[in-house]
């Protein structure tokens, strides 16, 4: 991954509301959660309202922990099931965010996740901060990620790749309808829920763009040539990434595989793909239109609402009922093994010391007290 651009007193909290019995976001409040299990009587949750359990993820300046909702005021538990459900808490260390100049991207992630609700996108449920950290509480997706699944299976049959690709097409179409470019589509950022459907996670590189973006960021193997060349780009970079991902699902490796990021960039800019024998002629035709060097000729270059017309209408997707896909009426090809709400067997477990666990114990120190209040006042 390449960072964009080159990446306890509670000071502010925010918990989204459940606004109707159906679990759907209110039309009057697009930031409301569709999770019917989080209580909605309060808006001031902090770290002490959650029981911190195992660490299941780690990044450059973030950790992810499995947590249980355990409010100090038990009257806040509006439903018995709420204390039994697990959530994923992403904690970002303020000092590291500032040192890596990622303030804008962290704020973008929060703002975007607050304003998107779609079946194949992970939901943000609450945000708050303490002296040292920013916290995002999200739904816990226990089935692991596509990266792990793909490595176990080596490659996917065409029908499996088509199923996952169909859900991804709808997710990207939805984001683009809101003028959001995702910019980091890859197997590691695609989670598998308990039923086997996908959920796009990690919006650290996502950005709301009205016209074009200039920032160099993403993961080398999935970056479109216009990002590498820094010539300015738009939403079509996500369709390039989808093309490379479909290739990887079918072949088991990237179309631009190389030993170093520099060599990957060179392969991308050369535009030469050594086609795997696992990729049939119809698949190859679709990929040629997605992994297209000239952005305006790339599938998905059209304007909303016709952006995905060429993609959905391609013979590779023949027979796909897009409404049934969005409504999750098509049975997934794979159902992960999940034994309960705290099952983390599909994720790596980290045992190193955690600053979040120390913060939960009250060991936050005073050296950073108030130091970043102004920087993150809108979080």
pLDDT digits (tens, 9 = 90+) for 203-244: 999 999 988 999 999 999 999 999 999 999 999 999 999 999
The closest of 229, 237, 318, 315 to 265, measured between CA atoms, is 229
Pairwise CA distance, residues 174 & 159, whole Å: 23
The closest of 49, 122, 45, 60 to 91, measured between CA atoms, is 60
- Tokens of residue 376, six digits: 């993150």
Q: Residue 37: its pLDDT value, please?
A: 45
Pairwise CA distance, residues 174 & 158, whole Å: 24
The closest of 120, 161, 184, 145 to 252, measured between CA atoms, is 161
Q: Residue 76: its pLDDT value, please?
A: 54
SS3 assignment, position 37: coil
pTM: 0.86
Place of tokens 């039309």: 27
Q: What is the CA radius of gyration of the chain?
A: 21
Q: Residue 365: its pLDDT value, please?
A: 60
- Do residues 201 and 247 lie in contact, with contact meaning Cβ atoms separated by under 8 Å? no
- Tokens of residue 93, six digits: 């260390």
Q: Residue 16: its pLDDT value, please?
A: 45
- Which member of 184, 193, 202, 238 is catalytic? 184
Q: With a cut of 50, list the residues of the chain below it in pLDDT.
A: 6-43, 80-81
Q: Residue 360: its pLDDT value, please?
A: 79
pLDDT digits (tens, 9 = 90+) for 3-20: 565 432 333 344 443 333
Place of tokens 């040292």: 132
Where do the domains of the chain lie, and which CATH numbers do they carry?
12-142+340-360 (3.30.200.20), 146-326 (1.10.510.10)
161 CB-near residues (< 8 Å, 6+ apart): 246, 249, 250
Local structure of residue 219 (DSSP, 8 states): -
Report angle CA 311, 124, 336 to the nearest 5 degrees.
65
**Element (H or E) spanning 288, and its range?**
helix 281-290
Annotated active-site residue 29? The verdict is no
- Do residues 62 and 22 lie in contact, with contact meaning Cβ atoms separated by under 8 Å? no
């Amino acid at each position: 991954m390449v960072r964009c651009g080159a990446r306890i007193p509670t000071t502010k909290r925010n918990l989204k509301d459940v606004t109707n019995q159906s679990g759907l976001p209110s039309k009057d409040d697009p930031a409301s959660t569709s999770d019917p299990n989080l209580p909605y009587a309060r808006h001031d949750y902090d770290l002490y309202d959650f029981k911190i359990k195992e660490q299941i993820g780690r990044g450059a300046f973030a950790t992810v922990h499995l947590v249980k909702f355990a409010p100090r005021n038990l009257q806040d538990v509006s439903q018995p099931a709420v204390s039994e459900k697990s959530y994923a808490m992403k904690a970002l260390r303020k000092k590291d965010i500032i040192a890596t100049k990622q303030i804008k991207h962290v704020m973008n992630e929060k703002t975007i996740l607050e304003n998107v609700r779609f079946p194949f996108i992970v939901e943000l449920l609450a945000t708050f901060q303490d002296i040292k950290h920013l916290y995002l509480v999200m739904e816990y997706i226990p089935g692991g990620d596509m990266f792990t699944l793909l490595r176990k299976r080596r490659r996917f049959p065409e029908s499996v790749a088509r199923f996952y690709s169909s859900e991804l097409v709808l997710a990207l179409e939805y984001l683009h309808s809101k003028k959001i470019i995702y910019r980091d589509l890859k197997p590691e950022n695609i989670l598998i829920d308990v039923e086997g459907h996908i959920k796009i996670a990690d919006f650290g590189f996502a950005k709301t763009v009205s016209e074009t973006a200039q920032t160099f960021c993403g993961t080398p193997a999935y970056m479109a040539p216009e990002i590498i060349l820094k010539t300015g780009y738009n939403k079509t970079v996500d369709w390039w990434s989808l093309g490379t991902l479909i290739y990887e699902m079918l072949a088991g490796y990237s179309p631009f595989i190389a030993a170093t990021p520099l060599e990957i960039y060179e392969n991308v800019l050369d535009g030469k793909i050594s086609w795997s024998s696992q990729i049939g002629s119809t698949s190859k035709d679709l990929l040629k239109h997605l992994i297209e060097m000239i952005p305006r000729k790339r599938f998905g270059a059209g304007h909303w609402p016709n952006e995905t017309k060429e993609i959905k209408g391609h013979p590779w997707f023949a027979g796909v009922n897009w409404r049934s896909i969005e409504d999750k009426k098509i049975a997934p090809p794979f159902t992960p093994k999940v034994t309960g709400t705290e099952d983390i067997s599909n994720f790596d477990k980290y045992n190193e010391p955690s600053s979040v666990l120390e913060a939960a114990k009250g060991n936050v120190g005073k050296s950073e007290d108030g130091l970043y209040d102004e920087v993150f006042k809108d979080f």
